[in-house]
Structure 1
């Protein structure tokens, strides 16, 4: 049985980061809304309570059954989690006169506390709270303080319950990883045995048991997630996996042919389907990004269903859904507000009548790549930048036409090829060109032009949840701009996007 840590989400923007830090220590964890805690069995080694935008003093503050859990398992409350435990167990939480946001230093540390082992005096931590714990209840002891916050960390005597008013998961808390390791390994007793190899072994065994001799169809995209999912399924069921790669006319230049070729070298049972015209017909006259996404999703299902029907007795649909997709589809207040439709998460139409198998739905993107390397998947696939499910349709603002797609494919190919030749492609999380519905005046060959604009986008990120724009060298940007304008008919201006996420998204639509 895979041991795990439960992280209860009270709405903090840092909850996913806590999970990532836990997993970096080779310990499996799951995020669950505070109001939907799963049953706790012997596999659960401890619980982490996240921060929250709420105050424990609010009437509608999130609540959970602390008394039932803290007698059975180690608990670490972070920020709101720490304040909640203190406030409802004889302590007092108040609005602080000296709010702490940003860096602080632990002036006092109880070196005897197992939570603070090997953490030096004056260790820098990251604070982000308006409330503070003013009084602790019976059997609580202070184990760390800053200049302005007496109760930076506490322990409930006779239990394995701890609370901290700082965020160990952010890199600004310089010894945060050590603190988490102390809690997870020394206090919870986790073995740190959740590795790519162990994941592969247990996942393939589970897939064999779940699928038996059933047939699975899976839509390949050429991206990291669907490729790793396909190889895992291939190891489990071999030729009973039927992969379908649809050319929706919205792929990058020459991508359909090159991806098909690379998959054949991997031994996958794959069929390519040219459906460009069906997608172009469905997109005709549509400019709204959400309508474009829905049209593409609908046609993809129709095309995929047609191809799947050519395989006899299919029972399962394989998908490359990863953990952030799952988390983003559920929030502490029910379904998240829709920022954009996601092509992996959501119901299937009734007519497909297929059960869904998602071998990667517990992994973050970087973990998928680690598993892919352990499976010896080619770096050309594992190193590919994320590419949106709707493809170039959401990188062409406004209505889609084959002519616009062809222009963008050429410009994008020049951009990506230059990033590769300059040796910076692998340093960028995601890059792509965007076709703007803007025309501007230019001069080419002594003649006035009135043509379209291409925007270049490149971002740095760990998991796509937040992203910063890449500071590409000016001479490289100048070279790319010059090549696009000289070689792509219909473009006379190139601009560079310097917006970060948030507030901007990585894609434009």
Structure 2
């Protein structure tokens, strides 16, 4: 008799986005998901064998800063194009495909950056259908495909690219020189979806309902009858993770809210109230501020901070586990699972993939101790933030929690540039509370992604207050707008609002005599300073 396994039906075959160092590689993965198809990001140096072992439904080759004809730059593997998997090339990936399959790529001297008109030059019933004969596209290239590989039809040209788009329907290959993933390409999403559905023949299988069904089945299979504890921070990620696990295993779940002493003003009280009145999930609050501040004493290096915080989180949950065992009066063998609200951007930035760069170790990924006693349950590990919010709404998580602006698990520990002492934390809490209060009064909470407030504890500058010289710390305001935290731009807040925040901070927080505004996008900067 065959046993029915719901996971076999729900498992998603990914569209793999091969990252050649593109600024927008993560955005490509998001656009694929927006089209209703599951996608994952993989580094270009992942072997073809390992890529194909993921059983991809299709492969997308991203853009990148290199030239395909130069020594030492990423090249295409012919085996990838012989595996029978549909492939779509974008910008550098378009050139990699052309060169690998026998086309010609060269520096033409006609560089194109920014908005460009692409002109369709052939009839096409699959790839560029639904797009106009002349369309605005976003270019960023100095090299061009001058001759398409055998079997391809050239579909579009631009002033700087004689071959700006091509397709081989028989082998299910296609590509464009421009960036369809950015909003500046007016019909970019149409072209991307045409490839997924018309050329590659995929179907829409990625939706919040499917994600919930799949994750609930996975959690039940992983946990069985055992009990689970959840690392609850009060933010969107851990709240939705807790709701998913609660839907799967009910009262087997107990959530622990760790007050690590790195919270913002009023945060603990807000979290306790929200969960007690709205979520219906058992929450136990534990004050571990002395443990964390002791572990952080004297540490100023960002990665060391994150690893110390990650380690102490686990130690705190191990202590909570022992307490739960003692209260239950059993040997505790059934409390071995820890739920975390880890997201896909956390994994990507922490180098979570063979060959991937470690931008910064997130406390819940790269900061975990090797001797951890828990088996992790991470139902959001493959999801972007906007997907998590939508799943939360589907699960009935209250909007005031779902819509809450992101706050990092390490809290203010990574917003103090310098030693994380109680004194420095008190300065930052006071400044942060003022900024948050004024942003809320100005009705800006739903207009920006978040506004980290940063204390430069290792920096002092001369000021004048009350007719006297001061030598105080600067505070940095970092308002940003984003869809998923993989890319971001600084938010253009009204000058009057910035002035009010600055005046209040310098007047009310005696140790601060200067407020500055961070106007850096991501990339090159990250949202948090550490």
CA distance in structure 2 between the partners assigned to 1:185 and 1:134 by the alignment: 28
Q: What is the aligned partner in structure 1 of residue 109 from structure 2?
A: 97
Structure-1 residue corresponding to 2:399: 379
User: Are residues 1:190 and 2:202 paired?
Assistant: yes
Matched with 1:272 is: 285
List alignment gaps of at least 5 residues for structure 2.
1-8, 325-331
Distance 2:94 2:353 in 1: 18
CA distance in 1, matches of 2:19, 2:420: 40
1:362 aligns with 2:362: no
CA contact (8 A) 1:9 1:332 kept: no
Partner of 1:440: 462
Moved more, 356-365 or 184-193: 184-193
In structure 1, what is the Cα distance between the partners aligned to 2:470 and 2:65? 52
Instruction: Tell me how far 1:183 sits from its aligned partner.
Output: 1.1
Q: Is residue 2:36 matched to residue 1:26? A: yes
TM-score, normalised to structure 1, is 0.92
1:8 has 2:18 as partner: yes
Name the SS of the counterpart of 2:195 in structure 1: helix
Map of 1:72 onto structure 2: 84
CA deviation profile, 1:132-168 (whole Å, cap 9, x unmatched): 1122333222111123321111123633211221111
Q: Distance in 1 between matches of 2:181 and 2:199?
A: 18
Contact 1:250 1:393 in 2 (8 A): yes
Matched, 1:206 2:223: no
Partner secondary structure for residue 134 of structure 1: strand
1:109-138 CA deviation, whole Å, 9 max, x = no partner? 423341010110111112222221122333
Separation (CA, whole Å) in 1 of partners of 2:507 and 2:160 = 61
Q: Give me the CA root mean square deviation.
A: 2.5
Look up the SS of the partner of 1:309 in the other structure: helix
Runs of 4+ in 1 over 6 A off after TM superposition: none
Cα gap change, 1:132 to 1:448, in 2 (>3 Å): closer
Aligned to 1:296: 309
Q: Distance in 2 between matches of 1:104 and 1:439?
A: 46
Greater mean deviation of Cα atoms: 216-225 or 52-61:
52-61
1:479 aligns to 2:479 (yes or no): no
Shift of residue 331, structure 1, vs aligned partner: 7.8
Contact kept? 1:460, 1:470, Cα under 8 Å: yes
Q: Retained in 2: the 8 A contact 1:71–1:159? A: no
Cα distance change, pair 303–23 in 1 and its aligned pair in 2 (3 A) = same
Q: Is the CA contact (8 Å cut-off) linking 1:246 and 1:274 kept in structure 2?
A: yes
1:74-223 superposed matches below 5 A: 74-156=86-168, 158-223=170-235
SS at match of 1:144: strand
Aligned partners of 1:383 and 1:369: how far apart in 2?
Answer: 7
Measure the CA separation in 2 of the matches of 1:231 and 1:199. Answer: 13
Among 461, 467, 471, the alignment partner of 2:488 is: 467
- Where structure 1 has 5 or more consecutive residues not aligned to the other structure, the ranges are none
Q: Is the 8 Å Cα contact of residues 308 and 367 (structure 2) preserved in structure 1? A: no
* Cα shift readout 1:317-336 (whole Å, capped 9, x = no counterpart): 22211112222334887241
Deviation at 1:494, TM superposition (A): 3.1
Note if contact 2:303-2:360 (Cα within 8 Å) is conserved in structure 1.
yes
Contact in 1 for aligned 2:235/2:406 (Cα 8 Å): yes
The equivalent of 1:499 in structure 2 is 520
Deviation digits for residues 183-232 of structure 1, max 9, x if unmatched?
Answer: 11222233323111221122112211221112222211111111111110
Partner of 1:353: 373
Partners in 2 of 1:274 and 1:323 — Cα distance?
Answer: 29
Match of residue 408 from structure 1: 428
Correspondence for 1:307: 320
Aligned length: 507
Conserved 8 A contact 1:93-1:134: yes
* Superposition deviation, residue 369 in structure 1: 0.9
